[in-house]
Structure formats: structure tokens, C-alpha cells
Amino acid sequence: MSIEEKSFQTEVSELLDIMIHSLYSNKEIFLRELISNASDAIDKAKYEGLTNPAIYDGGTDWAIRVSFDKDAKTLTVSDNGIGLNREEAVSLLGTIANSGTKEFIKKLSEAGKTDFNNLIGQFGVGFYSSFMVAESVTVLSLKRGENTAVKWKSNGKSTFTVEDADKTGAGTDVTLKLRDGETDILNEWALKRIITTYSDYIEHPIKMNVSVPKKDADGKVTDEYEQKEEVTNSMKALWLKDKAEVTKDELEQFYKHISHDFMPASKVVQFKAEGISEFHALLFIPSHAPFDMFHKDMKYGPTLYVKRVQIMEHCEELLPQYLRFVTGVVESSDLPLNISREILQNNKQIPVMQKNIVRKVLDALNDLKRDDPGGYKKFYGEFGKCLKEGLYFDTERKETIAKLLLLESTATAPGEYTTLEEYVSRMKNEQTDIYFITGSSRKELESSPYLETLKEKDYEALFLTDEFDDIVFSSLYKFEEKPLKSVLKGDLNFAGEVEEEKKESYKTLLNVVKEALGDKVESVRLTKRLKNSPVCLVGGEGAPDANMERLLKAMGQPVPVHKRTLELNPDHPLVVTLKNIADSGEGKDKISLYADIIYSMAILLEGGRVEDTGNFVNKVADIMAESPSL
């Protein structure tokens, strides 16, 4: 088949343009990415070989080789892994099959130097990082089990070419023709340093020809040198070593290798589980969130090994989704080598393994919170929303997760946090519930009329400003046997009941207001919840708060119909005036007008927006115009 010229996917062209025409630090990470890809290719070959013995034709001396030619200004990374055929070369090297691509490219173009290096690895586009140093890249590959190789070539502009080719031995050779100014890397010392720094923990040998002194017939070292192939990486399986034998530096380098994250992890979780299910785990809790953490198709979970064979890169069955930020390696000797996702879902050992891993991760987070409050505060700023997901979905560990929450409250300064345990320790003797209020910002909540009685009683209230806090905390129900209570819903027991005599005297007003508002409200009643404000809207115990309703509407989601109750403060001058008008029997139409206005006021006081702003403003203006004092 002749040479074909094809165009890159639009997103690939944009990505290449950013890489070629911008200056970034640590350009040498391209070698890390190519070696990582080569390692993945070998892992895939080993895995395929479990069910297809033909994969092993040509031997199983798995290795990655790095070579260079100073005169030709080329650097080549070779592997004897699974290889590519023509169709795969076109689809895998010419497109980025990942949702969120446009967002990634936007972030990449805006990133600083360190973030740029980090994003490349996170998104899985490491191959394209070669164009930071290369004027052209050639890929020669022969897929195992096939006879015809493919040659892919591009200068990193808008197109690439593919053609059939000859190649001895299955696998892939990636050859970079380096640009002028980028050739300092073409020496064995520089390459060995980069391999040791970034790829020392690749489990397959990375081989390279190095210069070694010749020896004479007596075994003595001479002044002459010869080329000899050496393994340049240690291939240490850190997760199988005793925890005490692994150094901090080794852990840091290994974390960078598996996560492509240049920032150190917040916490390392390393353990060996024994008992019903025996396995080793080396897990890392990162210090900052990946850009795609809230994408629905984000891949997560530790890499799963069985008897030193990588079975699955992202084993989601070993971690609940709310801990999707955790990365690392888990190795089991008990699971079958031919395990698949379908088998995993029915394997009795997997839930036992997950339970152990989750417990260890949550314990590690608790240790971080206790031992390094500043570090935990930074972690929580990145991953607090994920932990809140756990409150809702992980019914077995609700209280454990609840202890990890950091929350602002009426007792903390802006930007400072408390915990539920600390809240409980400060509760008044007569206080029975933990109170919270939800809204869009602390500033909005601080002046909320719903807190007026709490402030008078000197009861603390938690400020919850994340979108789904209402659902999450309502599902928690209680903490340390103390019920959680939203001040926006139901009755506040401590506020007390309005006197029966007062209820009777306001009956006419309540009936007229309810009649005027009709189906807008469930009912109209007097309240002791308010001290300084005239009116508020209160939801039922199981109803979503107004903040959640607004969010669902903005997302185009159906909003359940939950009518709320309009509560009036009988001691407020405005409500007293309305009562007098209603009792006179002469101002029913006026009361109907006022009812609509105070209903709109209640919506505004809770941080919402009235449906017809113009109508509301006109009504207020008409009333002000009629006032004899104006």
C-alpha cells in the first residue's frame, strides 16, 4: 500500500501548536512519556498472552531500549510489546479520543510551566510531548501476530503519513529527529540521569549501550572503552517491599512515575493485608485535584497486578468513586491471572480488598488532619466535595467520613474551619440538635433571617455553601447521636410555640394571606423563628432547599413540587400593620397586594430571585407613592 497523507484531528493540531511554539521547563519529560508508553505496550502483550499463546512468538525477553545517534541527531525508544497495525497507528496517533479535550487544551494553553508538565501526563497525551524537542517523529511498529509493519511519520504540523513497512521483530520503535538546540540530551550520561529520575521504577528493563573500560587479558582496566548494553533502571517493585525498607525519595519518584504529577503527594498509604484476602498496596493521596476529577468518564482506581502481571490499569472495583483521587498499585497473589471486569464484579475477594483499602485511606486522612492541619486544609480545599459524596453514598462509613469534614460556622472567622466533633464539644447544655444553614455564600448566610433566634440563644450554626450540601447533610441524619437540623426547614424546637391567644388574634390575617397566595404556599402561620425580619419561607423536613431547587433548574433537571410554608413574625411592625388592616375588614384587596409583596420579600431574604422582578418593583413603587409621609 502506498504512502497516505492524513490530517490530524483538530484538537491534536491545537495541542501540537502549543507544544511546538511555547517554551516550557522540564522538556525532558518527553522521554518519561515514551518509556511509559513502551512499558504499557509490554504490559498489554503480557496480558494478551494469558489467553493467546501466539503473542509469545518471538520470545518473552521483555525490554525497552533507548539508543541515540549524535551525527544524525536522533533518539530512539524501542520496545517488544504488543505493537500497532496500520489502523491503530492512524486512530491512536492521529486523534485524542477523550471527552473534555477542548477543556484540556484550554487549560494547557493557560498553564504555567509546572502545571503544563503535569497536565500532559494526566491527560494521556505524552506521545505528543516529543514535539517539544523534535522536528519530526517516526513510529515503526509491527503488531504481534501480524506480518506487515506500519511506518507513521509527522513533523508536528497539520498532517502525518502512514505506509506499510518491514520490521524485524514485533514491537514499536519511536525515533525523534531532534531540533537544533535540543541535542544536549544525546549522550549516555544525560539519558541515564533522566531514566533514573523519572523511570527507575518501570518494572521492565530499560536497556542502553554505555561506554565501559576495556580489560586486558589479565582482567585489568585499560584506557580504552567499548560499548556494552546495560540495564539503567532498578525495576524495584516498591509495593512488595517492607515499608521500613522504602525511602521517602523512592516513594516520591515512584509517585511521579505512576501519576505524572510533579507535586508531592499529601499522604502515602502502604500496607500488606493478611487474612481472608492477602495483598500488597501502595497508594498515594495527591495534594491537588486532577483537571478531570468531576468528569463523568474519569478513569480512576489503582493499577491491579496479579503475580507481577499488570492486569488492569484502573481497577475501579477496588475504590468507591468518592475516593477517585487516590492512585497507586495493588498486587494480589490470590486472584486468577485471567481476571476481567466481569469476573471482578463477582469475585468474593474484591469487596474484602476494597473494605481494607477504604479503611486504610480514611485512617490516613484522619492522621493527616491530626498531624498536619495546614496540609489537610489544603487537601480538603481540593477534595472536600469528594468526601461529601461519600457521606451520601457510603452508608457504612458516614460517621467516619463526617469526622473528616472541615466546615465554616457562626463560631469561625471567614476562611477558618471547624469540625463536627468540635461543634458538638461547644454545644450548650440544653441544645439537642446540630444546626446548619445552606446557601450560595457565607456573606449571604451571615445576614440570613433564619439565624435570628439562634443568635439570640447563642447557638452555633454551620455554613454550608456547596451546591449539594442540603442533600448530603440531610442524608447524614445525625452525628455522635446528635440530630442534624436545617434551620430552613420544619420547626425549630428551641424557638418555642406562638401563644394560642396570639394565633387566634392573627387568624383573619393568616386566612387572607393564604387565600391571596393560593397554591404558591402550603400554609401561612406565625413563628418565633424570626426576631428582626417580618417574614420567611420554610420547607418541609424532607424537601430540598431553595439553593438545590435553583441548581436543578439551572441544570435543566425536573424539580419536585414541594410547597413551603410562609411564616410571619407577629412582633414585627409590618405584620402588626397588616393585621390591623385585615381586622378592619375594609382592606382585603390591599392585603392581597401586600401578600404578594411579602412573599417576594421572603424569596429575596433566602437569596432567591422573584419570578417577575418588574411587577414586584412596580407594586412597591405604587405603595410608596400612596404613602402620605412621602
Q: Are residues 367 and 305 in the same domain?
A: yes
Residue the block writes with cell 425580619:
533
Contact call for residues 31 and 76 (beta carbons, < 8 A): no
Contact call for residues 448 and 437 (beta carbons, < 8 A): yes
- Chain-centroid distance of CA 590 in Å reads 54
Contact call for residues 233 and 205 (beta carbons, < 8 A): yes
Last residue of a domain, one of 470, 494, 518: 494
Q: Are residues 382 and 367 in the same domain?
A: no
Classified as helix, coil or strand, 96 is coil
Range name among 230-234, 379-383, 433-437 with the lowest pLDDT average: 230-234
pTM: 0.69
Q: Give percent above pLDDT 90 in the chain.
A: 47
Contact call for residues 110 and 135 (beta carbons, < 8 A): no
Of 576, 607, 555, nearest in space to 509 by CA: 576
Q: Domain count of the chain?
A: 4
3-state helix, strand, coil in the chain (%, to 5): 45, 20, 35
Q: Are residues 284 and 398 in the same domain?
A: no
Q: Are residues 440 and 527 in the same domain?
A: no
Could you read off the pLDDT of 17-37 as tens digits, one per residue? 766 655 455 678 789 889 988
Could you read off the pLDDT of 280-331 as tens digits, one per residue? 999 999 998 887 788 877 889 998 988 777 778 889 999 999 999 999 999 9
Of 366, 481, 482, 392, nearest in space to 435 by CA: 482
pLDDT at 104 over 60: no
Distance CA 288, CA 98 (A): 21
Contact call for residues 358 and 320 (beta carbons, < 8 A): yes
Mention every residue, 6+ apart, whose C-beta is less than 8 A from residue 597.
616, 619, 620, 623
Of 375, 280, 293, nearest in space to 326 by CA: 293
Could you read off the pLDDT of 488-525 as tens digits, one per residue? 888 887 777 888 899 999 999 999 999 999 999 999 99
The predicted structure's pLDDT at residue 21: 59
Contact call for residues 461 and 454 (beta carbons, < 8 A): yes
Residue-by-residue DSSP string for 357-371: HHHHHHHHHHHHHHH
Last residue of a domain, one of 168, 199, 231: 231
Q: Are residues 66 and 188 in the same domain?
A: yes
Q: Are residues 290 and 403 in the same domain?
A: no
Mention every residue, 6+ apart, whose C-beta is less than 8 A from residue 65.
76, 77, 78, 79, 206, 207, 208
- Chain-centroid distance of CA 461 in Å reads 28
CA atoms within 13 A of residue 151's CA, in its CB half-sphere? 11
Q: Are residues 255 and 123 in the same domain?
A: no
Q: Which residues pair with 267 in a beta bridge?
A: 285
Task: For CA atoms 352, 358, 359, 364, give the dihedral sign.
Answer: positive
Higher pLDDT, 111 or 83: 83
Range name among 39-43, 63-67, 197-201, 280-284 with the lowest pLDDT average: 197-201
**Cα–Cα distances in Å, from 46 out to 40, 41, 171, 607?**
10, 9, 12, 59
Q: Are residues 445 and 573 in the same domain?
A: no
Q: What is the mean pLDDT of residues 461-469?
A: 91
Which phi and psi (to 5°) does residue 168 adopt? -90, 115
**Cα–Cα distances in Å, from 61 out to 77, 218, 593?**
16, 33, 86
CATH number for position 542: 1.20.120.790
Contact call for residues 199 and 233 (beta carbons, < 8 A): yes
The predicted structure's pLDDT at residue 99: 42
Domain housing 391: 376-494
Q: Are residues 223 and 265 in the same domain?
A: no
Distance CA 384, CA 404 (A): 9
Q: Are residues 321 and 401 in the same domain?
A: no
Q: Are residues 454 and 520 in the same domain?
A: no
CA atoms within 13 A of residue 464's CA, in its CB half-sphere? 28
End-to-end C-alpha distance for the chain, whole angstroms: 91
Of 575, 564, 598, 572, nearest in space to 509 by CA: 575
Could you read off the pLDDT of 401-420 as tens digits, one per residue? 999 999 999 999 999 999 99
pLDDT at 624 over 90: no
Last residue of a domain, one of 343, 371, 399: 371
The predicted structure's pLDDT at residue 20: 63
Q: Are residues 22 and 140 in the same domain?
A: yes
The predicted structure's pLDDT at residue 455: 92
The predicted structure's pLDDT at residue 262: 74
Cell numbers for 93: 496517533
Give the chain's length.
630
CATH number for position 251: 3.30.230.80
CATH number for position 441: 3.40.50.11260
Distance CA 542, CA 540 (A): 6
